[in-house]
Structure 1
Amino acid sequence: MTRADAAYDPAGAAGNAYTAAVNAASSDAATKAATARDAAIASAAQDADTKAGNAQSAAVSAAAASAASLYLPNAIQTVDAYLAGATPSSPRFFGHRGGGMVRPEHTLVGYRSTAAMGFAPEVSVNVDASGELWCHHDLTLDRTTYQTGALNTYTTEEVSQAVLTNGRTLLGPGWTDQRMVPLRQVLDEFLGKIPILLEPKGNDAVVPTQTLLDTSYPHAPRSVIWKAHIGTLSLPWAKTRGYRTWVYLDSNTTDATMDGKDSMVDYWGVATTFTDQRIQQVVARGKPVFAWPVYRRSQVARLTGLGVVGMMSSDPRYVSTNLPQRTFSRWGLAVKESGGTPTLDYDTAYALVFGEGADAGWVSINALPNQSYGLGTYSPIVGSAAGYRIAFDMKYKVLPGATVHGGYYFGKDSDDPYRFTTANASGGYHVVMRASGDMQLYRHTAGVTSGTQIGSTVATTTPVADTAMSFQIDVTPTTVELRRTDSTGWTTGPVADTTYRGGYHGLSNGSITDLSTRPHWRNLAITQL
């Protein structure tokens, strides 16, 4: 009966259905509302996190920029400020390898001296086995340290404690061996104070260098020039970060290759060995051109004449001026002087040899044939109206053959190399002291192999092995005179000759063919007459 009553109660059934529907709809709405609320909360939280992260990044960037501004105020020299106004008549100078022909290359003492003189140092880096970047030109340690093998096979601890540079072999035993220096230390000390030309030399050093700069030195683009070979793939990284780029060429670089990189290059680099024509072609592209390696003033004259505005020099103090640095030698200190110009730079075979022990104070040239060594430290000689005098001692530790000679050259207008029996770029005079005792003066014309004797041959006492002879060269406006002043003394007398009055001079092995018989010199002094 109950079910029947219900069946015959449509209003009641409808009410129940309505109530059930309302309850179901309410439950569904509540579920959807809760889901929507949770989704909205999650979305809002995610958005807040994103915005907070962006705000944090912006704050970090702003703080870094602010710190960089404090660390690199506008008063400190930037790359652009350093190069502003650079022209062939007013070139800029850089310390190639930190001035590596005067101080041990890529060492802290080299960088400090270069920076103290106001020159931007070039810094080459390679990486060790631990991932530390070190200032070092070669991939191996062989050439510039007492160790051998690739740098990237040594740990940081080994490099810092067991590797010393061997600059004494090139620059003289008076030098103290130097430790290698980490790139971080160089950046911490010099970044912002002087521009730095920075180049990772090995491929394995490129990314670590980029990472270090990005992470720890965000302000570096203001004072670092990114230096690289034309074949590099690193230029897009450098340009997107605002670095100035110096890209150097090799003898096989084509114009098409240069065209492909031109938009990412600020300055081009040419070698001093390039022909005049090739250098002029690079200059004609319209971007500043820097040359390397420059260690003679005559190279500066040639390069600026071709339109080059930057000199990458291993001796920037010397090549940036046209003045003598002093008038007497201190060879007993056994330290290479700024302005000393061997036939080849960075080559120990042509380096000036400093005597030790009983030979302390004496120097010699341990290279053949007909080698010389320019004394730019004392050049150009500044005489009085009456002229000047060059005085020095010379000896043969072992006597050569009777007609063989060593000597001294002088009177040159330029510091280009001067070699006996060679067609030199500029002319001058040559002192000849033969082992027989014959003393002579010769004049050499530019471009001519043989010399011309001026004045008479003077027969002096035969030299004695390992015994000093003393000489004076007097140059007046109208005459040249050579004297040997030890013992009783001899002279050519004043020889009337005004052909050359340049102020560059140096040591000459003359016609020596056996290095054991090479001449040695000491006690150089330049005085006015």
Structure 2
Amino acid sequence: MPFPQGVPSVPVRYSITSPADGGPGEGTLQLMPTVPAIRIPGAEGVFTGGGTYRFVDGQLDNGTGGQVRLLPTNIDGANPAVWAWLGIEQVDGRQPRYFYFSLDADAAEVDLGSVQQLAPDLAQYLAVPGESAYDAWRRAGNEGTEADFLASLVGPPGDITAANGYTDEVVSEGLAAEVQRADAAYDPAGAAGAAFTAAVDAASSDAATKAATARDAAIASAAQDADTKAGNAQSAAVQAAAVAAAGLYLPKALLTVDAFMAQAGTKVFGHRGAGMVCPEHTEAAYDYAIAHGIQAMELSVNVDSEGQLWCLHDLTLDRTTYNTGALNTYPSTGVAQRILTNGRVMLGQGWTDQPMVPLRRMLDKYLGKVVLFVEPKGNDAVVPLQNLLATSYPHANQSVIWKAHVGTSFVWPKNNGFRTWCYVNDDSLDSALDGKDSLVDYWGVSTSMPSARRKQIVQRAGNKPVFSWPVFRRSQRAALEADGVVGLMSSDPVYVRGTTAQATASLWGQQVKESGGTPQTDYNVDAALKFSETGGWVSINRSRGTYGLGRYCPIVPGAGGYRIQIEMKYDQISSDLNVHGGLYLGKASDDPYEFNTINPSNGYHLILRHNGVLRLYRHVTTQTGGILLGAGDIGTDAPVAGQSMTIQIDVTPTTIEARRLGNPLWTTGPISETNPNDRYRGGYFGLSNGSISDTAARPFWRNLVITQL
């Protein structure tokens, strides 16, 4: 823009080359002050300046073939006194580059390619615009110059203690009022620009009054250099009051990344919010995790056709909603009004369909309160996410961890002060890790990665913490901690964090998946627990499927042991009457179990065949088949399709007994175990389809009750 009469300017030049061929580059350079306006002494109004300029033959052009001119950042008497220029360079359509710089008023010409680039925290707006003390003096009817005004302030010699005590006075009196106003007006939406303006407007009058008082005391105690000391006192007071007051309104980082990581013990983060307990990446999933004290969670991000960011793991809507196709083909209004997540399919029809959630809503709601792992999943979401954080959430780097795959770039987040988490493939080479190491704060390994490789990455990471994903069993937690992993990205964070049982009786009639339910495969519809429409029955619609009941584990036995009682039925009787389902129990951990397979830990399994035969087995880690206990086959009446049967297992310190209620003869009797090595008293158990491969003949269960003996 043209410069008003008397306003200084400095000509600047800048050239770029194309990264592709080294020739003249094409693109734009946006130049803007880091403050909303600058007041120049002797000039009417305020000055903003800057703009967006194109490069012509690789040279910066002001639009008319001339040279770009900018306002110097060190003009005497300018308000604010401390500010900087921000440059946003975009060359050949590539990712924008941000840099801050200052301009000397005495410079004849400046090459922006060689200026010293400032850190963002050195380019902040520190001044409070508004009426100066001199302006107020003139408005009161006084005549004269600023020198006359200063001379009017000189009085009898005073005590410098009054000036030195100004800071304490501001804190104890002025800022107390600002705190009260901030608490009443604080808006968690994170609109930092609006909040800053509100803060400085609220603080301006009070700060100017106290600044004048401090300057008066300083001049009175040091008349020989009153002008200098008064100016310094006023500048320091106004800046301190403005910054402190503005800080009350800006988004507050109640929990920073560094403070969270400094906490003792293994950290548990919400994976997709709490994606195996609530519909993933919905507000309900995030709220569940935070309501239960989880202090960090993941926000996966993708973008729609209009540039709005949404919390979504996949590039398409196919898996998690009732819609299909790529999110970036849908308009924002369509996503907001018409797309619902299909969490009911995997988590139970007791759920209501949940809407998708905009990223802004979660940032407004939780930024600064918890640590957020934010990851752009699609390439087209990267720049919109960067721009959103930089412009609308300038304090995000205090409580946001930039999460990305080892194959992506970490330059922007590191240049903008973010902590970074780089997760790697199970087969990623050390050379790939070495190439990213200088830009990475935390490393990520998967639960499927071999333990030996995890330990290698932990060792090579040195003092950089290593996190793992996806964790949904306590047994996984134990193995990862043994490997040196200190952070767990869990889809069931409340259960994984815990160590005790949460219930002793089921409520499956609610038709909602419970925390602690551990299917054989995470985020898998077939492995999920299925709820019948009536009667409170549950089943596993998977061949030979099993399902851990961690909500009720570990069972804590009484002095005489414990009892598991549950109803069971078959809705369809198989032509092969030897197939069976039942329960597994007595395991020391919640590792997965499957019948007639080598399993990670010892235990027992009870089977009830379609011909009515009841058996109790011991299963061990050294063989696939079970070890039959007691007298062998216990003959009971053949099951009737759709008819309930009650199974009961009593576990004492030295015996175990299985029975089907309804006939006193339908029992194994107490089976004595004299060898302590063969007595498995772990408190974890679950449901089992046993040998059944035809899911139409699978068992159903309801009314689980655990009691102490």
**Same fold, TM-score > 0.5, yes or no:** yes
Partner Cα distance (1:382, 1:511) in 2? 29
Corresponding residue of 2:503: 326
2:188 pairs with 1:166: no
Q: CA deviation at 1:483?
A: 1.3
1:170-185 map, 5 Å:
170-185=346-361
Corresponding residue of 2:46: none
The answer as to whether partners of 1:411 and 1:504 remain within 8 angstroms in 2 is: yes
Aligned to 2:310, the other structure's residue is in SS state strand
Q: Equivalent of 1:387, from 541, 561, 570?
A: 561
Corresponding residue of 1:354: 531
Partner Cα distance (2:4, 2:400) in 1? 48
Partner Cα distance (2:622, 2:429) in 1? 33
The answer as to whether partners of 2:542 and 2:693 remain within 8 angstroms in 1 is: no
2:546 pairs with 1:372: yes
**Aligned residue pair count:** 482
Partner Cα distance (2:423, 2:598) in 1? 31
Gap regions ≥5 residues in structure 1: 1-39
2:284 pairs with 1:109: yes
Q: Equivalent of 2:642, from 459, 466, 482?
A: 466
Task: Kindly provide the CA deviation profile for residues 416-475 of structure 1, in whole angstroms up to 9, marking residues without a partner as x.
Answer: 011101000001100010111111100001132000100122111111111000011000
Gap regions ≥5 residues in structure 2: 11-39, 41-70, 85-122, 127-195, 198-242
2:40 pairs with 1:50: no
2:707 pairs with 1:527: yes
Q: Equivalent of 1:92, from 261, 267, 278?
A: 267
Corresponding residue of 1:228: 404
Q: How high is the sequence identity, in percent, across the aligned residues?
A: 56
Corresponding residue of 1:260: 435
Distance 1:279 1:355, change over 3 A: same
Task: Kindly provide the CA deviation profile for residues 36-95 of structure 1, in whole angstroms up to 9, marking residues without a partner as x.
Answer: xxxx99675336543459758469634597645644546x11111111144xxx200000
Q: CA deviation at 1:385?
A: 1.0
Corresponding residue of 1:32: none
- Answer 1 or 2: higher relative contact order, Cα 8 Å, separation at least 6: 1
Provide the alpha-carbon RMSD of the alignment.
1.9
Partner Cα distance (1:246, 1:68) in 2? 28
Counterpart of 2:281 in structure 1: which amino acid?
H
The answer as to whether partners of 2:282 and 2:354 remain within 8 angstroms in 1 is: yes
Task: Kindly provide the CA deviation profile for residues 97-120 of structure 1, in whole angstroms up to 9, marking residues without a partner as x.
Answer: 001000000000111111122221
Distance 1:187 1:68, change over 3 A: farther
Counterpart of 2:373 in structure 1: which amino acid?
L
1:239-278 map, 5 Å:
239-278=414-453
Aligned to 1:123, the other structure's residue is in SS state strand
The answer as to whether partners of 1:435 and 1:462 remain within 8 angstroms in 2 is: yes
1:109-508 map, 5 Å:
109-119=284-294, 120-233=296-409, 235-285=410-460, 286=462, 287-357=464-534, 360-368=535-543, 370-400=544-574, 401-456=576-631, 457-486=633-662, 490-497=666-673, 499-508=679-688
Aligned to 1:373, the other structure's residue is in SS state strand
Aligned to 1:426, the other structure's residue is in SS state coil
Partner Cα distance (2:538, 2:250) in 1? 47
Task: Kindly provide the CA deviation profile for residues 482-513 of structure 1, in whole angstroms up to 9, marking residues without a partner as x.
Answer: 11113666211100125200000000001112
Partner Cα distance (2:511, 2:350) in 1? 5
1:34-73 map, 5 Å:
44-46=7-9, 49-51=71-73, 55=81, 57=83, 61-62=125-126, 63=196, 67=246, 70-73=249-252
The answer as to whether partners of 1:71 and 1:192 remain within 8 angstroms in 2 is: no
Corresponding residue of 1:80: 258
The answer as to whether partners of 1:425 and 1:447 remain within 8 angstroms in 2 is: no
Q: Return the index of the structure with the highest Cα Rg.
A: 1
Counterpart of 1:214 in structure 2: which amino acid?
A
Partner Cα distance (1:263, 1:175) in 2? 45
Corresponding residue of 1:3: none
Distance 1:194 1:68, change over 3 A: farther
Aligned to 1:207, the other structure's residue is in SS state helix
Aligned to 1:336, the other structure's residue is in SS state coil
Task: Kindly provide the CA deviation profile for residues 214-254 of structure 1, in whole angstroms up to 9, marking residues without a partner as x.
Answer: 00000000000000101112x11111111110000012321
The answer as to whether partners of 2:581 and 2:609 remain within 8 angstroms in 1 is: yes
Partner Cα distance (2:250, 2:663) in 1? 66
- TM-score, normalization: structure 1? 0.88
Partner Cα distance (1:72, 1:348) in 2? 40
Partner Cα distance (2:455, 2:334) in 1? 46
Q: CA deviation at 1:263?
A: 0.9
Task: Kindly provide the CA deviation profile for residues 96-143 of structure 1, in whole angstroms up to 9, marking residues without a partner as x.
Answer: 000100000000011111112222110000000011000000000000
Task: Kindly provide the CA deviation profile for residues 134-189 of structure 1, in whole angstroms up to 9, marking residues without a partner as x.
Answer: 00000000000000000000000000000000000110000011000000000000
Task: Kindly provide the CA deviation profile for residues 257-295 of structure 1, in whole angstroms up to 9, marking residues without a partner as x.
Answer: 111111110000001111111101110021100000000
Aligned to 1:493, the other structure's residue is in SS state coil
* Higher deviation after alignment, 124-133 or 249-258: 249-258
* Higher deviation after alignment, 248-257 or 202-211: 248-257
Task: Kindly provide the CA deviation profile for residues 362-406 of structure 1, in whole angstroms up to 9, marking residues without a partner as x.
Answer: 0000001x2210000100001101000000000000012211111
Distance 1:68 1:351, change over 3 A: farther
- TM-score, normalization: structure 2? 0.66
The answer as to whether partners of 2:586 and 2:604 remain within 8 angstroms in 1 is: yes
The answer as to whether partners of 1:118 and 1:194 remain within 8 angstroms in 2 is: no
Corresponding residue of 1:21: none
Partner Cα distance (2:663, 2:510) in 1? 28
Partner Cα distance (1:147, 1:179) in 2? 12
Corresponding residue of 1:18: none
More helix by share: 1
Distance 1:384 1:41, change over 3 A: closer
The answer as to whether partners of 2:654 and 2:679 remain within 8 angstroms in 1 is: no
Q: CA deviation at 1:208?
A: 0.1
Aligned to 1:82, the other structure's residue is in SS state helix
The answer as to whether partners of 1:342 and 1:372 remain within 8 angstroms in 2 is: yes
Counterpart of 2:326 in structure 1: which amino acid?
A
2:480 pairs with 1:517: no
Distance 1:45 1:283, change over 3 A: same
The answer as to whether partners of 1:68 and 1:219 remain within 8 angstroms in 2 is: no
Partner Cα distance (1:41, 1:73) in 2? 40
